[in-house]
Structure 1
């Protein structure tokens, strides 16, 4: 930290999520004195960076705090002397996400941003870029913490922990906070009284135990969630009700993304209907983004507009800002984060990424020991972890064979024949953003 205060760099600063992050920093300014916020983007994002950056400046001016907002397309210039670096990017922009969703659906399998074939290709495009960013951080601000919001956060964190020299890396997701808030509302208790013992992987995290004032209420919560009127989900996932007998048999809190694995057929039917209508989640988000940026252009807008919550990223600000503040202030509070396992979950390599509760200290998050996952869920976690590891290797090496293997072992892809067909079509569609797979042909 400089004598003038903290310097934070946000890569992907032209994101529609940035106003929420800025709002979070403004709210916490007394405990988190950020003097410089650098918003970084690439040439293709120049217009959005200018629009979001000017809104950020108006928000800071209205708040009356001495936080300087800098806009740049020069990443290395921004990184010098940074204390924290956040990453929130989409390689290929939303048009690439539309392909990630529509191409698998054309082959009759789930198309989704972070799961299955779509998640694989978002990872293949994203991991090499983030490794380059980590390399710059190691050179220009080696003491900085890299806080990654970029999806698929589990696979990305896995790759960075394995292949980057920079190890001060934490993956952040809004799902655990969203889940805690939903369960607190369901129980009608204040959020601070509720604790959920989360463990698993990103977008595959389980609530093993739920506590209110240190009294376990897991069974009560499972019963409430078994009722059709109490479905907890996200804006991007259909709230298809769970079978009550299944939830009670499992006895563990599921996250909304588990529907892709335990309700694959029902989710696929919903997605195919949207596919036919041209209303896949990616297409909906693209329209939402256009509307948001029209709002952001308004020179009279000086706050985060409430419409941003429709975008699906609600609570990212709280997740990211809480983490940064807890590291800076050595709060030693508990947060659910994507970190290096280091023995927290038995049966997963120490160097792999897991999503677990951590005690957040000035030296970073320390994962809380979980031990063995229940046998009922351990198999799926291990299968997805193998997928993430093989996919990460494919992203780094550009190996067609590893990419095919990753595609085939993912439980949302039903056969090696389908895997190969989808892989070949998606490689061609995303060729511009996958140079590692085509360099050998040059």
Structure 2
């Protein structure tokens, strides 16, 4: 591992400028990383140039003096990297719109479509070829580097990498647990700094197993808050908490599409205020944010420099300095959660210090939580098998198994939908998976 002044951090997909900005603001807030080597890679020249300009501005504001390079060639960015931060979005907004518009024609409603469901399945399938290429490059150019993955669908991507490149040091990172606990602390009126908690499960469907202050269970305070505020009853995850006994760690928009109970029913959508198609608005705002950044740089106007409290900068700092931290990571199970398959990707607390990222064993989840997670990991397994086995039938098997898709469509229309999406995404999929199978 390089020293803090020589460490090389590569960003793959750096053209996701807004997210790159936040991560760099966090990185440059650490004095030990002020002279790091930052290698930005993207396949879009304009976005890459914008990312480089933003990186230089953030460094100046933070008082850091990094060496910043920009590369259209991924291999040049990865060469001798100590850390690789993956934030690629294959197909960008056009592919995401396809993930919504084609299923909508078949009567399938989605909110975010990036983790599970038919949107998550096809986002994974078009991402896997890029992940394979990154893994092969890293094996040759930076075999000891940590790969810190932010690209969704998180569980599918981490599981795929663990199967095709088991020697790669991969940790999937997501802020859902952290911000869920901030939200819960606010609801019960307890400062976040005084709260201790434990969560575990799968990405975007983990569960708050312990929620305490000084050994006192705070769940009763949450129950009281829900009683006082009927508006809370109109949140999907509050509805799930009241029935399952443990609070889920992702927003209601996300949580609604991982189960069969909500999106297929117009009255439930109204009762719980579920924003169907929400991600289409999010990508428009992301595009507008990028445009504002590009225009500000071109005009010489200052950019806002705001930290994000994301895990990747904290992990990099801890590994390099030995500073101990706990983060939540997505990693291969390997006995960490005993009532989920060993060959699945789970989200658990991870200890980080100079020795690296070490996942912690949680044991068994409450059975009702494990049951929902089991359906999730079954879909994830089938999507990964479709790619690793080159078997297009497993795409259909995954969609048939997915709770929300199966609740919305009969099986013949699920196969029709998969054919339509295979046709729509075309060359973004690996060749073996482009077959249309009909019935």
Task: Name the TM-score class by shorter chain.
Answer: 0.7 to 0.9
What SS does the corresponding residue of 1:430 show, helix, strand or coil? Answer: helix
Q: Which residue of 2 aligns with 1:48?
A: 47
Distance 1:230 1:175, change over 3 A: farther
- The alignment yields a C-alpha RMSD, in angstroms, of 2.8
Structure 2 residue 319 is matched with structure 1 residue 327:
yes
How far apart, in 2, do the equivalents of 1:173 and 1:50 lie?
26
The 5 A counterparts of 1:176-325 are 176-225=177-226, 228=229, 231=232, 239-240=235-236, 242-243=238-239, 247-255=241-249, 256=251, 257-261=254-258, 264-266=261-263, 269=266, 280-297=277-294, 298-299=296-297, 300-304=300-304, 315=308, 317-325=309-317
The 5 A counterparts of 1:80-229 are 80-111=79-110, 112-225=113-226, 228=229
Q: Which residue of 2 aligns with 1:19?
A: 21
Partners of 1:127 and 1:396 within 8 A in 2: no
* More divergent stretch after superposition (103-112 vs 82-91): 103-112
What SS does the corresponding residue of 2:37 show, helix, strand or coil? Answer: strand
Q: Which residue of 1 aligns with 2:2?
A: 2
Distance 1:432 1:419, change over 3 A: same
How far apart, in 2, do the equivalents of 1:333 and 1:190 lie?
20
The 5 A counterparts of 1:389-404 are 389-404=381-396
Q: CA deviation at 1:200?
A: 0.6
Distance 1:381 1:27, change over 3 A: same
How far apart, in 1, do the equivalents of 2:314 and 2:237 lie?
32
Mark the runs of 5 or more structure 2 residues left unpaired by the alignment.
none
* More divergent stretch after superposition (284-293 vs 202-211): 284-293
What SS does the corresponding residue of 2:104 show, helix, strand or coil? Answer: helix
Partners of 1:127 and 1:159 within 8 A in 2: yes
How far apart, in 1, do the equivalents of 2:337 and 2:222 lie?
24
Structure 2 residue 366 is matched with structure 1 residue 374:
yes
Q: 338, 357, 365: which one pairs with 2:330?
A: 338
Q: CA deviation at 1:416?
A: 2.1
Aligned length: 419
Partners of 1:173 and 1:337 within 8 A in 2: yes
The 5 A counterparts of 1:426-437 are 426-437=421-432
How far apart, in 1, do the equivalents of 2:287 and 2:268 lie?
22
* More divergent stretch after superposition (396-405 vs 357-366): 357-366
What SS does the corresponding residue of 1:346 show, helix, strand or coil? Answer: coil
Q: CA deviation at 1:34?
A: 4.9
Q: CA deviation at 1:168?
A: 0.4
Partners of 2:116 and 2:258 within 8 A in 1: no
Deviating above 6 A after TM superposition, structure 1's stretches of 4 or more consecutive aligned residues are 270-273
Q: CA deviation at 1:271?
A: 12
Q: CA deviation at 1:386?
A: 1.2
Q: Show CA shifts across 1:155-179 (max 9, x none).
A: 1001111111433000001211111
Q: Show CA shifts across 1:248-297 (max 9, x none).
A: 45221123233324574357649999xxxx99334323321332122212
How far apart, in 2, do the equivalents of 1:271 and 1:75 lie?
46
Mark the runs of 5 or more structure 1 residues left unpaired by the alignment.
233-237, 307-313
What SS does the corresponding residue of 2:179 show, helix, strand or coil? Answer: helix
Q: Which residue of 2 aligns with 1:36?
A: 37
Q: CA deviation at 1:115?
A: 2.2
TM-score (norm. length: structure 1)? 0.87
